[in-house]
Amino acid sequence: MYRPGRGKQVLFASIMNDKNRAAGRSGVGAVMGSKHLKAVVIKGKGRIPMADPDRFKQVNKQVLDTFREGVEKTPLGLTVNGTAGVVMATQNFGVLPTKNWQQGTFDGWEKIDGQELTRRYLKKNSACYGCPIGCGRLTRVTDAGFEGEGEGPEYETLYAMGSNCMIDNLGAITKANYICNEMGMDTITMGATIACAMELVDRGYLSEDRVGRSLQWGDAGALVELTRMTAAREGFGDELALGSFRLAEKYGHPELAPVSKKQEFPGYEPRGAQAMGLAYATSPIGGSHMRGDPAYFELFSVPQPMDPHIWEGKAKVTAAFQNLSAIIDAAGLCIFFAVRNLAAKDLGVAPTGILEYLNAATGSDYTLEELMQAGERIINAERIFLTHAGFSRKDDTLPDRLTKVPMPDGPAKGLVCHLEEMLDEYYEVRGWNRDGIPETKTLERLDLA
């Protein structure tokens, strides 16, 4: 669907769906905008045939019965406070990115947490088609200057526009989130870019004259105004529309951009959650938590907990989660439901539940090994694409801030992210050489040679 941010080719424009849902990252909306593609409409009355509908219903009933049984014992955090509830976890683990990734805790966190969002602004939960979780938040803000109504914000927005900018004004964050949805922009990159600009100003690399207004840490008004200006590419918004890397590079300090492959990170600090750093660096689309999300085992104890401060042994589990995410994406499923309910309860996270659905729907007889290999094939196919585009180990990076500067505060104080050690282990697990290029024998095994 067309949104103004895309028409202006903001480099982090999203493709919006169902009003408030987004293919949010990597600027896919800017690609649509550059081709003058306004919308894709799918219309039809036909039914999708199913090989064994009775078996499919049986599998579905079993999955939902188990899900509901679990929810009766422990209310699902996602239903109660949405993804916004994650602020509480990242703060207490000391991995809530704060002040453009200079700190891991934020004094104002309770003002931007999911409980506060629920208490102050929630109108009702919303759910995607057929979902029993309903993590979506339909909210309304009546705070003077930030009035509005819409969906969200999600956790990632609260980190990027909140703690990362030292802003504890939930009304302002929610308003900036509405603007991003209405204009079709990625909230992670928007918030992270404003935080980066705040640090450029703080360090004297960028003048407020150039910005056209004051831009200090914690300035809620600046967040909302600059978000609007970015969508319109008006004034300094035209520079923010480039994202943090190109902005910081323009002012001579690309090291201040919190990116991998020039894409901004989601809200988990790799110094205190080591595998997140590996996932960011090896994600084929740059900094992302949706191509394998180690927060599940490092913070949420799903399917089992692993110490977030330890880097040893993380490569194998991170690779397994990346393979699982590739299968979840290919199946058109949501990671929130699938990781907890459709995967094995060990750190191999074999997609056991997805296999049941797949065979019932298609009438095929896939084995678990074949399905797991399909996930591995997707990761390798993407890696081959990147290799042909010139990417290698030199691009699987994190900023020095995360790998060389010890965390100054909180439970992860004194730690750095051990990326290089994890990369050695990771490439070995993947069957890639030390430069991160897939070995011929790996591609032959996966029938990709």
Partner 1 sequence: MEIELRLYGGLNRYAPNGQTCSACLVAPSATISVAVTRLGIPGTVHITVLRNGRREDMSTRLEPGDILTLLPQIDGG
CA 152/CA 114 separation, integer angstroms: 10
Q: How far is the CB of 157 from partner 1 (least distance, A)?
A: 11
According to CB under 8 A, which one of 18, 65, 107, 307 is a site residue for partner 1? 307
Residues in region 249-268 near partner 1 by CB under 8 A: 266-268
CA 135/CA 83 separation, integer angstroms: 7
According to CB under 8 A, which one of 101, 106, 155, 178 is a site residue for partner 1? 155
Q: Which stretch binds partner 1 (CB under 8 A): 192-200, 333-341, 397-405, 439-447?
A: 333-341
CA 121/CA 410 separation, integer angstroms: 29
Angle between helices 368-388 and 314-330 (to 10 degrees): 100
Task: Output 33 or 94, the one with its CB closest to partner 1.
Answer: 94
Q: How far is the CB of 301 from partner 1 (least distance, A)?
A: 6
25 part of the interface to partner 1, by CB under 8 A: no
Phi and psi at residue 60, in whole multiples of 5°? -60, -40
Residues in region 133-152 near partner 1 by CB under 8 A: 135
340 part of the interface to partner 1, by CB under 8 A: yes
Collect contacts of 48-57 with beta carbons under 8 A, ≥24 apart.
50/360, 50/361, 51/360, 51/361, 51/362, 51/363, 51/364, 52/360, 52/361, 52/363, 55/360, 56/357, 56/360, 56/361
Amino acid at 444: E
Q: How far is CA 418 from CA 92, 145, 422, in A?
A: 21, 44, 6
289 part of the interface to partner 1, by CB under 8 A: yes
Q: How far is the CB of 299 from partner 1 (least distance, A)?
A: 8
Helix, strand, coil % over all residues of the chain, rounded to 5 = 50, 5, 45
According to CB under 8 A, which one of 12, 93, 251, 427 is a site residue for partner 1? 93
305 part of the interface to partner 1, by CB under 8 A: yes
CA 89/CA 87 separation, integer angstroms: 5
86 part of the interface to partner 1, by CB under 8 A: yes
Q: How far is the CB of 156 from partner 1 (least distance, A)?
A: 7
423 part of the interface to partner 1, by CB under 8 A: no
Q: Which among 266, 278, 276 is positioned nearest to 296, based on CA atoms? A: 276
According to CB under 8 A, which one of 78, 201, 226, 371 is a site residue for partner 1? 78
67 part of the interface to partner 1, by CB under 8 A: no
Q: Please, are residues 314 and 306 in contact by the beta-carbon 8 Å criterion?
A: yes
85 part of the interface to partner 1, by CB under 8 A: yes
316 part of the interface to partner 1, by CB under 8 A: no
According to CB under 8 A, which one of 250, 309, 316, 401 is a site residue for partner 1? 309
The side-by-side arrangement of strands in the sheet containing 136-141 is 122-126, 136-141, 148-151
Site string for partner 1, 95-134 (x = CB under 8 A): --------------------x-------------------
Nearest-5° Cα angle at 61, 17 to 297: 65
Task: Output 181 or 442, the one with its CB closest to partner 1.
Answer: 181
CA 246/CA 241 separation, integer angstroms: 9
Q: Where does this chain bind partner 1 (CB under 8 A)? A: 73-78, 80-83, 85-86, 88-89, 92-94, 115, 135, 154-156, 266-268, 289, 293, 295-296, 299-302, 305, 307-309, 336, 339-340, 410-412
